[in-house]
Chain A
Amino acid sequence: GQSLEQPSEVTAVEGAIVQINCTYQTSGFYGLSWYQQHDGGAPTFLSYNALDGLEETGRFSSFLSRSDSYGYLLLQELQMKDSASYFCAVRDRGDSSYKLIFGSGTRLLVRP
């Protein structure tokens, strides 16, 4: 089967660093994406890793280890507006296109 595991909730203090882990088990793998979703909003793309290593985009970084079927999202200098749900998603190739398979999401609460 196909599954992604990520923690359900994480709490951190404003200004701190938080890491959200994601482990996956899929039949096909063409990269790991991360999305942010505020309550009532649409998922917003944050980052994508196709190869092993670290990708950095401003305060957000994402890491992938394909041999360990593991990735994480690192958020630095946390701000109150970072309180949201974060989803990891695997790009799984179908017959001729890619589809996203999502984890259940991690709810991040940033406290002052």
Chain B
Amino acid sequence: KAGVTQTPRYLIKTRGQQVTLSCSPISGHRSVSWYQQTPGQGLQFLFEYFSETQRNKGNFPGRFSGRQFSNSRSEMNVSTLELGDSALYLCASSRTGTGAETQYFGPGTRLLVL
């Protein structure tokens, strides 16, 4: 069974631009969560989607948004990029995002904002 995939793997943008990252969950998984990882703040929860609906949201500004498609693939968008948005963006999937389910992480997209 294929794991969680994320594209692109690496990305360089400049301040003020916007970026869209993509995540394809494990087949059969309908819950997709996004996390930001930085050396200073560690791993922080961004948001979670299930059946095309955002169910949970972390403490990030409105510049960070996401969506989920009917095939459970998810995208996250960051508008008006800032230097501090440079990070590894990870998505994780699970079947329903509840109970004792394990979240499986993708390899991440490393974003560098110049």
Contact = CB atoms under 8 A, between A and B. Distances in A.
Interface of A: 31, 33, 35, 41-45, 48, 50, 87, 89, 94-105
Contacts of B99: 98
Given A42-B90, A102-B43, A96 B105 contact: no
B106 A94 contact: no
Contacts of B103: 45, 100
B104 interface: yes
Given A42-B106, A104-B42, A97 B55 contact: yes
Given A94-B55, A97-B31, A99-B48, A42 B42 contact: no
Interface of B: 4, 31, 33, 35, 42-45, 48, 50, 55-58, 90, 92, 97-108
A45 B102 contact: yes
B68 to A, nearest CB: 13
A43 B43 contact: yes
Given A45-B102, A94-B55, A99 B107 contact: no
B107 A100 contact: no
B100 A31 contact: yes
Nearest 9 CB-CB pairings of A with B? A94-B56, A102-B43, A42-B105, A97-B97, A97-B55, A99-B45, A104-B42, A43-B105, A45-B102
26 contacts: A33-B102, A35-B105, A41-B107, A42-B90, A42-B105, A42-B106, A42-B107, A43-B43, A45-B104, A48-B102, A87-B43, A94-B55, A94-B56, A96-B55, A97-B97, A97-B98, A98-B56, A98-B98, A99-B45, A99-B48, A99-B58, A100-B33, A100-B43, A101-B45, A102-B44, A103-B42
